Amino acid sequence: MRKFFRIYQSFTKAGVENAMAYRTSFLCFALGESLYCFVMYFIWKAIFLSSGDSSFLGFSMTDMTVYVFLSNLVGFLISTDSTDNLAEEIHDGSIIMRMIKPVNIDYSILAFELGNKVMVITCIFLPVMVGVEIYRYVTLGYVAFQLGNFLLFVVSVIFSYLLSFYLNLIFGYLAFFLLNIWGFSILKSSIINFFSGALIPLAFFPGAVRLVFEQLPFASLVYVPTMIYMGKYTGEELAFALGKQIFWLLAFVGISRFIWSLAQKRLAVQGG
Binding site for other proteins (CB under 8 A): 3, 6-7, 9-11, 13-14, 17-18, 21-22, 93-94, 96-97, 99-104, 264-265, 267-269, 272
* CA diameter of the chain: 65
Q: Is 159 exposed, middle or buried (0-12, 13-18, 19+ CB in 10 A)?
A: buried
Task: Quote the least distance from Cβ 95 to other proteins, whole Å.
Answer: 9
- Torsion angles phi and psi, residue 52, rounded to 5: 80, -15
Nearest to 185 by CA among 202, 167, 199: 167
Task: Quote the least distance from Cβ 52 to other proteins, whole Å.
Answer: 53
- Identify which of residues 1 and 97 has a Cβ nearer to other proteins in the complex: 97
CA 196 – CA 216 distance, rounded (Å):
9
Task: Quote the least distance from Cβ 251 to other proteins, whole Å.
Answer: 24
Inter-residue contact 112 to 80 (CB < 8 Å): no
Task: Quote the least distance from Cβ 114 to other proteins, whole Å.
Answer: 14
Task: Quote the least distance from Cβ 24 to other proteins, whole Å.
Answer: 13
Inter-residue contact 169 to 112 (CB < 8 Å): no
- Identify which of residues 20 and 155 has a Cβ nearer to other proteins in the complex: 20
- Identify which of residues 103 and 144 has a Cβ nearer to other proteins in the complex: 103
Task: Quote the least distance from Cβ 79 to other proteins, whole Å.
Answer: 20
Task: Quote the least distance from Cβ 257 to other proteins, whole Å.
Answer: 14
197 vs 170, 179, 218, 269, CA distance in Å? 21, 30, 8, 38
- Identify which of residues 21 and 147 has a Cβ nearer to other proteins in the complex: 21
- Identify which of residues 8 and 153 has a Cβ nearer to other proteins in the complex: 8
- Identify which of residues 11 and 229 has a Cβ nearer to other proteins in the complex: 11
- Identify which of residues 97 and 208 has a Cβ nearer to other proteins in the complex: 97
How many C-beta atoms surround the C-beta of residue 210 within 10 A?
A: 16
Q: Is 50 exposed, middle or buried (0-12, 13-18, 19+ CB in 10 A)?
A: exposed
CA 134 – CA 178 distance, rounded (Å):
48
- DSSP-based three-state secondary structure for 22: coil
